[in-house]
């Protein structure tokens, strides 16, 4: 049976994404000779079917290039509204004035840094995230910032060094906001980057509370390495698009879930 025009266009979109980490709407329009509204409808359909992820102004491929391995600048634009929603929930419900907070290097934690700076909440933040630190500098008069150094990993927007954990020995924090790549009710929280495990576990060790932050795309997923079980977490913060079934399963495991109200 001959393919319809729509099917042909969808195949061309996927071919373009298979050759690139990301493609803009303008590039799709130019190559496929169709309108922006048509392309946006196509991208919405293909995303619903799990064949791509839409970004602000384009799309990125999935499967061959998993979301968590994409460049941080691409990941930042994916599910931005949901990450902003999570950030506001965290600042409203978990962060009090004069707390010491550790912010992970993930894109959701970047949005938490933006929200903390916007509200100018007095306190101390510890981070190895370049982008979180850049946001917090805007509120340097109220937020004390501690930055861990090392080699700058531009793909993840963080500083990393094998000696970094030694810097934690004499530090303590009230709250660690931890970015993850997967949350599965049957196993726990997981990540893909093997080199991140030691740092994240160290952050957990020096914090009174650990809270995982994750948009709905992370729910039900298992990434390469198990990072923590649910009895090691004090809460999980998600966005309102998180399926009710996933929230219910976490609650059944005794996990405190915020943000899905």
Question: Residues 60, 110: one domain?
Answer: no
CA angle in degrees (0–180, nearest 5) for 232-112-165: 50
Q: Is the pLDDT of residue 98 over 50?
A: yes
In what helix (H) or strand (E) does residue 250 lie, and over which residues does it extend?
helix 244-252
Residue 110 is assigned to a structural domain of this protein: yes
Pick the range with the lowest mean pLDDT from 20-24, 185-189, 196-200. 20-24
In what helix (H) or strand (E) does residue 64 lie, and over which residues does it extend?
none
Q: How far is residue 178's CA from residue 162's CA, in Å, rounded to a whole number?
A: 19
Q: Which of 157, 182, 194, 183 is nearest to 74 (CA)?
A: 157
Q: How far is residue 173's CA from residue 101's CA, in Å, rounded to a whole number?
A: 6
Question: Residues 128, 189: one domain?
Answer: yes
Q: How far is residue 72's CA from residue 135's CA, in Å, rounded to a whole number?
A: 15
Question: Which is higher by pLDDT, 150 or 94?
Answer: 94
Q: Which of 76, 125, 119 is nearest to 99 (CA)?
A: 125
Q: How far is residue 110's CA from residue 129's CA, in Å, rounded to a whole number?
A: 8
Residue 150 maps to which CATH number? 3.40.50.1360
Question: Residues 10, 42: one domain?
Answer: yes
Residue 52 is assigned to a structural domain of this protein: yes
Tokens of 232: 């090691």
**Residues of the domain holding 88:** 80-258
In what helix (H) or strand (E) does residue 200 lie, and over which residues does it extend?
helix 197-205
Residues 59-72 pLDDT 10s: 887 654 444 544 55
Residue 71 is assigned to a structural domain of this protein: no
Q: How far is residue 236's CA from residue 246's CA, in Å, rounded to a whole number?
A: 12
Residue 73 is assigned to a structural domain of this protein: no
Question: Residues 28, 134: one domain?
Answer: no
pLDDT at position 239: 95
Question: Residues 29, 107: one domain?
Answer: no
Pick the range with the lowest mean pLDDT from 18-22, 87-91, 235-239. 18-22
Helices vs strands, H then E, count in the chain: 9, 15
Contacts of 26 (CB under 8 A, 6+ apart): 36, 57
Number of domains making up the chain:
2
Residue 44 maps to which CATH number? 1.10.10.10
Residue 104 is assigned to a structural domain of this protein: yes
> Is the pTM higher than 0.75?
no
């Amino acid at each position: 049976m001959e393919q319809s025009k729509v099917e042909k266009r969808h195949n061309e979109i996927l071919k373009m994404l298979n050759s690139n980490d990301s493609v803009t709407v303008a590039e799709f329009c130019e190559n496929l000779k169709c309108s922006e509204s048509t392309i946006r409808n196509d991208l919405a359909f293909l995303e619903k079917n799990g064949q791509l992820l839409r970004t602000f102004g384009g799309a990125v491929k999935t499967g061959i290039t998993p979301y968590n391995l994409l460049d941080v600048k691409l990941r930042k634009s994916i599910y931005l509204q949901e990450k902003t929603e999570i950030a506001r929930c965290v600042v409203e419900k978990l962060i009090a004035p004069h707390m010491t907070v550790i912010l992970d290097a993930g894109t959701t934690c970047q949005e938490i840094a933006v929200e903390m700076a916007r509200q100018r909440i007095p306190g101390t933040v510890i981070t190895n995230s370049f982008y979180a630190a850049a946001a917090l500098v805007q509120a340097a008069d109220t937020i004390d910032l501690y930055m861990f150094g090392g080699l700058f990993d531009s793909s993840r927007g963080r500083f990393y060094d094998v000696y970094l954990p030694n810097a934690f020995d004499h530090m303590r924090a009230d709250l660690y906001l931890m970015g993850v790549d997967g949350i599965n009710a049957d196993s726990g929280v997981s990540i893909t980057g093997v080199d991140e495990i030691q740092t994240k576990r160290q952050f957990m060790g020096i914090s009174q509370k650990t809270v995982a932050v994750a948009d709905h795309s992370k729910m039900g997923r298992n990434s390469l390495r198990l990072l923590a079980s649910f009895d090691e977490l004090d809460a999980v913060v998600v966005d309102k698009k998180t399926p009710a079934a996933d929230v219910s399963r976490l609650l059944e495991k005794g996990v405190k879930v915020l943000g899905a109200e």
